[in-house]
Structure 1
Amino acid sequence: MTPRTTLAVVAHGADDVRIERVALRPPEPHEAVLSVAHGGICGSDLHYWRHGAVGESVLRAPMVLGHEVSGTVLQAASDGTGPAAGTRVTVHPARHEHTDVRFPPDRPNLSPGVRYLGSAARFPHTEGAFAREIVLPAAMLRALPERIDLRAAALAEPAAVAWHAVSRAGDVAGKRVLVVGSGPIGALAVAVAARASAAEIVAVDLHAKPREIAAVVGATRTLDAGDTEAVAAVDADVVIESSGNHRGLASAIRGATRGGTVVMVGLLPNGDQPVPIAHAIGRELRLVGSFRFNDEIDEVIAAIADGSLAVGPVITHDFPVDEALKAFAVAADASVSSKVLLTF
């Protein structure tokens, strides 16, 4: 039977995240009940914890956090869709609602009608997945091959973000790739670029720990972000900017070769940003945005399963859910951690 309540990680406002019991609603016919095994803490979760907001997405009511999860189907959808009970799965955290706003039909990630797990972008908020049990549309579940353990499967979502970002640059085989910001998304972008046969991958970060992880998953060399001259001298064909700050974007622009491509996956704060745009114009750089992903998570699952995509080294810490606040503090310290997992 579906439990009536479950233990969850709930954001109430800035500096107010609680581990508490919440109601678990009965599933509709197209929905399944998932027993969550692991959940990865994302930068957006940290923003809700620290600021009560992510950009313009401001908490207006308590909200369960989390969108990077894996687990086992506890109760299958009663309409017969989706995986059967007992199936190990990961989750595609987006679902789409109708909108009259124009967007490319083959790029549904750009639709303003998207609802993403653990997001305050719309109200009522879209509850997240940091709970022992969750109710989700069966269409959001992705069955896992036997060769993937549930711990690694929790990285399928951020790896799909990185996969989408690298793909936005086109074919990187044989090219020199610069990754600015080697946190979880940056490290996974390194792994994706290595799998795509990039000839050289240079990873940049302010801290030694992320640089060490980047080297393990495929970077051919690493640089301290403070050495701006060395970063500018990389002369990369493709740059993945994943730091999410204007200094990182400036380094990305300066580190690109003439006619190169800069993919911006790090989400900068709202408002104007001071970046050397004249440098980009004079070198005819191609500046490309990258936002979430579409169906790349299916390719990611296959690549993790066949061993061609290294994600395990990106995980640095595991905490039980009742130590979630400690986990959040560790995840916020980029000098000691990369991807921090909660265990449910």
Structure 2
Amino acid sequence: MSGPNPQHFRALVLHGAKDLRLEVRQASAPQPGELQIAVRVTGLCGSDLHYYQHGRNGDFIMRAPLCLGHESAGTITAVGIDVRDFQVGDRVALEVGFPCTSCAPCIEGRYNICRSLRFRSSAKTFPHLDGTLMELTNHPADKCHKLPAHISDVQSALIEPLAVCMHAIRRSNPADAESVARALSATRVPEETAALIFGAGAIGMLLTAALAATQHFSTLVVADIDEARLRIAASLPFPLAKIRTYLLPKPASEASPQAEEDLAQQMLSAFCLPNGFSRTYDCTGVASCIRMGIYATGPGGAVVQIGMGGASHPNIPLSAAALREVDLIGVFRYAARGYPDAVALMGSEKFQGVAEKVATHFVRFEEGDRAFELAAKGVDEQGKPVVKVIVVSGREAEGHER
């Protein structure tokens, strides 16, 4: 093993709903094949917020104290034996899913659907596997991704959610969207290919930016009920991309299926898309958005389900999808190519300025409760919209607080 080995570190540990404690833990040397990492930045995810508020995330219920966080990056402080290609001082992003590596999905590179997968900060398995909201952690070297020097700490905190977006893009196969649109055009003149993104949160904005940067669609429409967030989405630094926004009405207590279909048609009319969107990406998990997405997607298109925060049993208009061969594509986290794709895109010139739009708030490690409360409220004390909260450790907090 090489490098210094601190004896103690602090961790933010959730003991129950809104019972977050700052604890001191004993450090241990990295095992063979592991790296010891000083965590510099950790973004708060929607699943973290569910655990903090309710002590559970859907069906996954905490049965013991759990350290949250999984959107992390940091600096290597020690290298375990049998580890090559890493050295003390390297900056890395942490990929936090641990599959069996031997089942059929793992062999195919789809380890995210491995039945034995364990994920840091998740209560799905017991004993729980602690997350990365800690100052120091040991992590498998093969799940660490070296970061080039020009990727900032702010950018590094967004590698994990961007990996989700890159996996969603791969799953949705946008390359064939143009051919579908051309076939639908009565005049045989290639029409615009458009994608609809429900949700202007961190995933929605990063997905919009990734689609704009990779130029898969000529028009991107971001829909949300929050006008302030839509303004941020519209300001993403892609002057050549057509990024449009659509303000959805606040959801009624019981929206009728006809009202949702009518709203989908209104969106299509507003953007002159008589043949519908080629792809719809739902980043909300809200049942009404899923249904509107089916109605708004054109024949031969696809609805890509990324968000998981809404109803677990939405009433889906399957006939509206089946009769027009609209595919329903599920997305769960990311697979083998997610992180490499995300690091490459985040470090590219075309993606500059995106992270600063998405990472809206930075909070010191010692103020864990404030970080979660900011994420829960959605606006800060000055009324500024909260998109992504980044928890910053140690000296890295200097100059990042906002």
TM-score over 0.5 for the alignment? Answer: yes
Residue 320 of structure 1 corresponds to which residue in structure 2? 364
Q: How far apart are the structure 2 equivalents of 1:205 and 1:264?
A: 16
Asked if 2 retains the 8 angstrom alpha-carbon contact of 1:264 and 1:288, the reply is yes
Return the offset for 1:102. Answer: 6.8
Equivalent residue in structure 2 for 1:343, among 392, 397, 402: 392
Residue 36 of structure 1 corresponds to which residue in structure 2? 39
The residue type equivalent to 1:279 in the other structure is A
Give the secondary-structure state (helix, strand or coil) at the position aligned to 1:251: helix
Q: How far apart are the structure 2 equivalents of 1:41 and 1:99?
A: 31
**Aligned positions of 1:180-329 closer than 5 A:** 180-197=198-215, 198-217=217-236, 218=238, 220-226=243-249, 229-232=262-265, 233-234=267-268, 235-269=276-310, 271-294=312-335, 295-309=337-351, 310-329=354-373
* Alignment coverage as a number of residue pairs: 344
Q: How far apart are the structure 1 equivalents of 2:311 and 2:65?
A: 23
Return the offset for 1:103. Answer: 7.1
Give the secondary-structure state (helix, strand or coil) at the position aligned to 1:190: helix
CA-to-aligned-CA distance 1:129-170 (integer Å, 9 cap, x gap) = 111111111111111111101221110000010111122111
- Root-mean-square deviation (CA, aligned residues, Å) is 2.1
Asked if 2 retains the 8 angstrom alpha-carbon contact of 1:165 and 1:263, the reply is yes
In the alignment, structure 1 segments of 5+ residues that lack a partner are none
Return the offset for 1:73. Answer: 0.4
Structure 2 vs 1, CA of residues 106 and 142 (structure 1 numbering), >3 Å: closer, same or farther? closer
Which protein has the bigger strand share?
A: 1
Which protein has the bigger helix share?
A: 2
Q: Which moved more, 1:218-227 or 1:297-306?
A: 218-227
Q: How far apart are the structure 2 equivalents of 1:102 and 1:306?
A: 30
Give the secondary-structure state (helix, strand or coil) at the position aligned to 1:134: strand
Asked if 1 retains the 8 angstrom alpha-carbon contact of 2:263 and 2:292, the reply is no
Asked if 2 retains the 8 angstrom alpha-carbon contact of 1:101 and 1:112, the reply is no
CA-to-aligned-CA distance 1:16-61 (integer Å, 9 cap, x gap) = 2222223333321211110111100000100110111112221111
Q: How far apart are the structure 2 equivalents of 1:189 and 1:163?
A: 8
CA-to-aligned-CA distance 1:175-232 (integer Å, 9 cap, x gap) = 2000001111111110111112110000011112321222122562101121864544
Asked if 2 retains the 8 angstrom alpha-carbon contact of 1:82 and 1:139, the reply is no
Asked if 1 retains the 8 angstrom alpha-carbon contact of 2:286 and 2:311, the reply is no
Structure 2 vs 1, CA of residues 6 and 242 (structure 1 numbering), >3 Å: closer, same or farther? same
Q: How far apart are the structure 2 equivalents of 1:123 and 1:83?
A: 31
Whether 1:48 and 2:51 are equivalent positions in the alignment is yes
Give the secondary-structure state (helix, strand or coil) at the position aligned to 1:158: helix
Q: How far apart are the structure 2 equivalents of 1:222 and 1:101?
A: 41
Asked if 1 retains the 8 angstrom alpha-carbon contact of 2:174 and 2:279, the reply is no
Computing the radius of gyration over CA atoms, which structure comes out larger, 1 or 2?
2
Structure 2 vs 1, CA of residues 30 and 102 (structure 1 numbering), >3 Å: closer, same or farther? closer
Return the offset for 1:77. Answer: 2.0
Equivalent residue in structure 2 for 1:107, among 83, 105, 110: 110
Give the secondary-structure state (helix, strand or coil) at the position aligned to 1:124: coil
Residue 13 of structure 1 corresponds to which residue in structure 2? 16
In the alignment, structure 2 segments of 5+ residues that lack a partner are 179-191, 251-259, 269-275, 380-384, 394-402
Name the TM-score, length of structure 2 as normaliser: 0.80
State the identity as a percent: 29
